[in-house]
Amino acid sequence: MPIIKIEMLEGRDRATKQELVKSMTTEMARITGCSEASVYVVINNVAKEDWGIGGELAATKFPD
């Protein structure tokens, strides 16, 4: 029944997201004993100009 919300910088491809979802779900079920079927994962792909670290935009700190 757990919900896992991932916020990360945008740009990951579908295969990476699939691997993330699979891994997080398997680990959650293994560690907490919940069923894998009940786990929801939602990914939020954040643009670099929408993420701040230490007061600076990631767009400035990590230019492409």
Which residues are known to be catalytic?
A: 2
Burial group, residue 15, by CB count within 10 angstroms (0-12, 13-18, 19+): exposed
Structure tokens at 59: 């767009």
Residues in CB range of 26: below 8 A, 6 or more apart: 36
Closest CB to its own copies among residues 39, 64: 39
Shortest distance (Å) from residue 6 CB to its own copies:
6
Sites of contact with its own copies (CB under 8 A): 1-9, 12, 14, 16-28, 31-32, 34, 36-46, 49-60
Shortest distance (Å) from residue 11 CB to its own copies:
10
